[in-house]
Amino acid sequence: MASASLSEDLTCSICLSVFTDPVILLCGHSFCRECITLSLDKQQHCPHCRTPVPTEGNYLLTNHILKSLAEKSKEAAKLKREYRNEKEVSDYNETEWFCLEHEEKLKLFCVTDQQLTCIICRDSERHEEHKFKPVKEAAASLRKDLDMFMLQVSADIRGLEGIANTQREEMIKTTESCNQLKTHINTQFEEMHMFLRKRQKEINDELKNKEEDALKKMRWRLNSLETALSENRELEGNVASILENKETERFLETWTDDDTTKTAKNTFKSKTENFQVEKASISLGPYESHLQFFVWKEMLQVIKPREEMLSLRNDDTSLCVSEDQRSLIFCNTKRSSDYYGRKPTQPYFTNSIDTFAGQHYWEIDVGELTSWELGIENNFLTMEGNTYEICIEDSYETLKFTGRPRRIGIYLNCSSKELSFYDADKMKHIETIRLSSMPSQVSAYFKVSQSNPDHTPLTVCWY
């Protein structure tokens, strides 16, 4: 009871803990310095008895007696906790290494059950035919195994750290690469924007010049009209002034004296017939109806890089190649062979004369052909009827792509070993394949089937 009373006397009534740096107020009550300081910031009186507390001068005096008692109380509580912890450890050590069932010291380790046992446990039915080791021997063996395991874990950690560092480097490279691509994309679009803004200004300037020329002619016509109108209004005013005379003698005298008006009357001719409204028919030609198409065609002249203007190889095959080396057809009729200047022989595929390294794009007009193969040798897109397949090194995969585009776009990136195909009518992606290997030089691959009955040519697109 005395200990509990002492603990209450050493407790701050604000924080309900043993005093820390206690101070005493003029009313005699004590509090922690921090607690009473925060309290007085809100209300200027003792929290216990409500006595006003002055805020001037040194009004918070240290209570040295309470401070000493509080520190001794804290030290005693600390020693008590340490003693309790030591006792718990001692009690654990005394009971942990003895068998709770037989009260014998645990001298053996059951390898089978992976637990400490006493000698009596070893001979019990529960551990029959189990393997045992002395505690020290089992500990040494386990420690050796754990040391080896630690080496494996450490080696794995080093390997994982190396992979993680490499992954971080790849992330940095990817970010840098994307930033470079963003810069490249923004630069390319800015160049197109600059071209479009320049052409927009040029076309607007042309329109403005035509407008100014037309308005100049209209202003000259309007000035002439206003001059004639002013002359007629002056004449009208003079005649009206003469007609205002009601007396016959004055009216006649005024008329006879006004030679200017008489002359104007005798020589008057209608000026309306001499004037017509000046009209302007301003035209920008095709820029009125086909502006986007014409500007797109103009832009093609400055866009770089452009599509590859391939030429087809004119080998001794069943494919007849046109004189400009852009078109080919399966030569199984006299009409087609005469048209393309070739005689049919086998086989019926060919390659481009051009070879590639780097990044390239070309387009092929397949028209109404129902059977063809396009790409590079051993890796291509094939269409048979309405079914599209991707061929990768003689392995075929059917695609979900539907539609019948007239033009097929092929993009080859030799550095990343990627071959992509597009519906060039809508610039819609069809499929991308990764190439297992990439020769130093590759050429475009073309094939048309003898099953095409309409003999429509396959043509390389040049813009």
pLDDT at 94 over 60: no
Asked if residue 46 lies in contact with residue 28, where contact means CB atoms within 8 angstroms, the answer is no
pLDDT at 7: 67
Single-letter amino acid code for the residue at 276: Q
Closest CA to 259 of 238, 234, 240, 230: 238
Distance from the Cα of residue 406 to its chain's centroid:
32
pLDDT at 337 over 80: no
What is the distance between the alpha carbons of residues 383 and 362, in angstroms, rounded to a whole number? 18
Choice between 347 and 271, residue whose per-residue pLDDT is larger: 271
pLDDT at 396: 94
Mean pLDDT of the chain: 84
Edge to edge, the sheet with strand 115-117 lists 115-117, 108-110, 132-134
What is the distance between the alpha carbons of residues 423 and 415, in angstroms, rounded to a whole number? 23
Closest CA to 374 of 326, 431, 428, 445: 445
- pLDDT band of 268, cuts 50, 70, 90: confident
How far CA 445 is from CA of 311, 356, 442, in Å, comes to 11, 12, 9
Highest mean pLDDT among 114-128, 336-350, 405-419: 405-419
pLDDT at 105: 87
Asked if residue 328 lies in contact with residue 312, where contact means CB atoms within 8 angstroms, the answer is yes
For 360, which DSSP code? E
| Mean pLDDT to the nearest integer, 72-86 | 82
Q: Which two tokens stand for residue 186?
A: 């923004």
pLDDT at 418: 92
pLDDT at 422: 95
pLDDT at 340: 42
Asked if residue 317 lies in contact with residue 349, where contact means CB atoms within 8 angstroms, the answer is yes
Burial class of residue 264 (count of CB atoms within 10 Å of its CB; 0-12, 13-18, 19+): middle
Contacts of 459 (CB under 8 A, 6+ apart): 326, 327, 364, 365, 367
pLDDT at 342 over 80: no
How many C-beta atoms lie closer than 10 Å to residue 128's C-beta?
8
Q: Which helix (H) or strand (E) holds 421?
A: strand 418-423
Closest CA to 461 of 307, 325, 305: 307
Choice between 203 and 347, residue whose per-residue pLDDT is larger: 203
| Mean pLDDT to the nearest integer, 44-71 | 84
pLDDT at 90: 58
- pLDDT band of 202, cuts 50, 70, 90: very high
Tokens 């992979």 sit on residue: 163
Closest CA to 131 of 150, 111, 114: 111
pLDDT at 415: 86
Reported in sequence order, the residue ranges of 174-270 that DSSP labels E, i.e. its strands, are: none
Contacts of 412 (CB under 8 A, 6+ apart): 356, 359, 360, 361, 376, 418, 419, 420, 442
Tokens 């130093």 sit on residue: 440
Tens of pLDDT, residue by residue over 378-394, are 899 999 888 999 999 88
Choice between 83 and 209, residue whose per-residue pLDDT is larger: 209
Asked if residue 35 lies in contact with residue 14, where contact means CB atoms within 8 angstroms, the answer is yes
Look at residue 397 and give its three-state secondary structure. Answer: strand
What is the distance between the alpha carbons of residues 348 and 346, in angstroms, rounded to a whole number? 6
How many C-beta atoms lie closer than 10 Å to residue 461's C-beta?
18
- pLDDT band of 344, cuts 50, 70, 90: very low
C-alpha R_g of the chain: 53
pLDDT at 335 over 80: no
Domains, in order of start, for the chain? 2-89 (3.30.40.10), 319-460 (2.60.120.920)
Asked if residue 110 lies in contact with residue 132, where contact means CB atoms within 8 angstroms, the answer is yes
pLDDT at 166 over 70: yes
Tens of pLDDT, residue by residue over 397-432, are 999 998 899 999 999 998 889 999 999 998 899 999
Asked if residue 379 lies in contact with residue 391, where contact means CB atoms within 8 angstroms, the answer is yes
What is the distance between the alpha carbons of residues 261 and 373, in angstroms, rounded to a whole number? 95
- What is the percent of the chain with per-residue pLDDT over 70, rounded to a whole number? 87
What is the distance between the alpha carbons of residues 349 and 374, in angstroms, rounded to a whole number? 10
| Mean pLDDT to the nearest integer, 321-330 | 79
Asked if residue 403 lies in contact with residue 423, where contact means CB atoms within 8 angstroms, the answer is yes
